[in-house]
């Protein structure tokens, strides 16, 4: 499981002209990719890592200040462009494997007390954010 995490001053995701998730103020935007060997246990660990990641102002975590998260599925995080000009997506888990694991990360974050917005799995999404810092990390489990 791989996540690109961005500290943001605000963010939204829109699908077919409607906002499916957003937040104003400090929070985290999480682009989340799933690969073939990911498990529900990795989903739990990823959620705990994201909730406790100390990258907000004053080295605070989202859990410290109740900051929201916007979690967006992103199979392209497992794209491989080392050869040629066209990436391959072989390392990305197929939808029937990936979608329940993305949902598990979101559910676990909510169980931990997080306010979580989402995109729509497999949809053409438009993501807008104000990157704060900017701070962007790759988290891999």
CATH number at residue 19: 3.50.80.10
Confidence of residue 56 (pLDDT cuts 50, 70, 90): very high
pLDDT digits (tens, 9 = 90+) for 96-132: 999 999 999 999 999 999 999 999 999 999 999 999 9
Tens digits of residue pLDDT in 15-49: 999 999 999 999 999 999 999 999 999 999 999 99
The structural domain count of the chain equals 1
CB 27 within 8 A of CB 135: no
Sort 105 into a burial class: Cβ within 10 Å, 0-12 / 13-18 / 19+. buried
Residue 100: per-residue pLDDT: 98
Q: Cα 103 to the chain's mean position, in Å? A: 11
User: Using one digit for the tens of pLDDT, what is the confidence trace for 73-101?
Assistant: 999 999 999 999 999 999 999 999 999 99
Residue 36 domain boundaries = 2-140
39 is catalytic: no
Q: Which pLDDT score is estimated for 37?
A: 96
How would residue 9 be classed by pLDDT, with cut points 50, 70 and 90?
very high
Query: Which entry of 6, 35, 75, 118 is annotated as an active-site residue?
Result: 75
Catalytic residue among 6, 76, 118, 121: 76
Residues 11 and 118: beta-carbon distance below 8 Å: no
75: annotated active-site residue: yes
Q: Is the pTM of this model over 0.85?
A: yes
- Catalytic-labelled residue, pool 6, 35, 74, 118: 74
pLDDT band at 53 (very low <50, low <70, confident <90, very high): very high
Q: In this structure, are residues 3 and 46 in contact, taking their beta carbons and an 8 Å threshold?
A: yes
Query: 136 catalytic, yes or no?
Result: no
Helix, coil or strand: residue 92: strand
């Amino acid at each position: 499981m791989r996540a690109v995490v961005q500290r943001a001053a605000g963010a939204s995701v829109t699908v077919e002209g409607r906002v499916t998730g957003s937040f104003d103020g400090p929070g985290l935007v999480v682009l989340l990719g799933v690969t073939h060997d990911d498990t529900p246990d990795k989903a739990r660990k990823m959620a705990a890592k994201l909730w406790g990641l100390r990258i907000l102002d004053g080295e605070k975590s989202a859990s410290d200040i109740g900051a929201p998260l916007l979690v967006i599925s992103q199979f392209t995080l497992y794209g491989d462009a080392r050869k040629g000009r066209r990436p391959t997506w072989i390392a990305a888990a197929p939808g029937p494997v990936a979608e329940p694991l993305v949902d598990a990360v979101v559910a676990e974050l909510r169980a931990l007390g997080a306010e979580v917005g989402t995109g729509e799995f497999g949809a053409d999404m438009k993501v807008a954010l104000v990157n704060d810092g900017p701070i962007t990390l790759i988290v891999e489990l």
